[in-house]
Structure 1
Amino acid sequence: MSRIYAFLTNGTLPTDKSQARKLRYRSARYTVIDDVLYKRGYTTPYLKCLTKEQGDYVLREVHSGVCGDHSGSRSLAHKVFRQGYFWPTLHQDANVLVKK
């Protein structure tokens, strides 16, 4: 995610042509608003992109926080998604948390 953020804010690309092309292609789905990275979707609102540490905190709060219901990994990931958060390994992290 940091490479996409750097490209959108500064225009920095990798030196490798194929990597630069992939980064330009992937960054079309993202936007930066007030120095915060958001993922754009066709039918969804902007989703705030989180770091892995922030994502783990959000997953733990939704899963076993004050209003947590200890749901399964699939419904947990969708609840986080509906709250407006995104990170690339959301579904895998939810699966690992539920299995613990």
Structure 2
Amino acid sequence: MKYDLIGDDMFYRTIEGLLLKCLGLIESNRLLHEVHEGTCGTYQSAHKMKWLIRRSGYYWPTMLEDCFKYYKGCQECQRFGKIQMVSASVMNPISNPGHSEVGVWT
């Protein structure tokens, strides 16, 4: 059995035997907002959002798909997602001063 009913709440039982509280549509949308744009405003990716939600003890069957929809619908994530943060210059290798030409440490 993957689901348990305790009182009025339904729980999903993981392989490890942990109980995760099943959420409905309204609660799951509120939780997605809190995880993605919440107090710290971290704007996590979909997989990280799912991991955080499960780690917090919640579950619903379409969790990953809903995380992707929410992430793709976030205007801030889409606006700043393609900005390159490093300069457009050629990268130069850095030589190690303790390393000789033949690969022996001196």
TM-score by length of 2: 0.65
- Rounded to whole Å, the distance in 1 between the matches of 2:46 and 2:15 is 24
Task: For residues 33-81 of structure 1, give each alpha carbon's deviation from its aligned partner in whole angstroms, at most 9, with x where no partner exists.
Answer: 1221001112152000000121011010011011331010011111001
* Count of residue correspondences: 73
**Distance (Å, rounded) in 2 between the aligned partners of 1:58 and 1:35:** 20
Given candidates 47, 51, 59, the residue that maps to 1:78 is: 51
Which structure 1 residue ranges, 5 or more long, are not aligned?
1-27
What are the superposed Cα offsets for residues 6-53 of structure 1, whole Å, 9 maximum, x if unpaired? Answer: xxxxxxxxxxxxxxxxxxxxxx21101122100111215200000012
Moved over 6 A (4+): none
Structure 2 unaligned spans of 5+: 74-106
Q: Greater share of helix residues, 1 or 2?
A: 1
Q: Could you say what secondary structure the match of 1:71 adopts?
A: coil
1:33 aligned to 2:6? yes
- Mapping for residues 1-100 of structure 1, pairs under 5 Å: 28-100=1-73
What is the TM-score normalised by the length of structure 1?
0.69
Work out the CA distance in 2 between the residues paired with 1:99 and 1:44.
32
Report the residue type matching 2:37 in the other structure.
S
Percent of aligned pairs sharing the same letter: 32
Please report the RMSD computed on the Cα atoms of aligned residues, expressed in angstroms.
1.1
Q: How big is the shift at 1:93?
A: 0.5
Determine which structure has more spread, i.e. the larger CA radius of gyration.
2
- Asked which structure has the greater RCO (Cα within 8 Å, sep 6+), the reply is 1
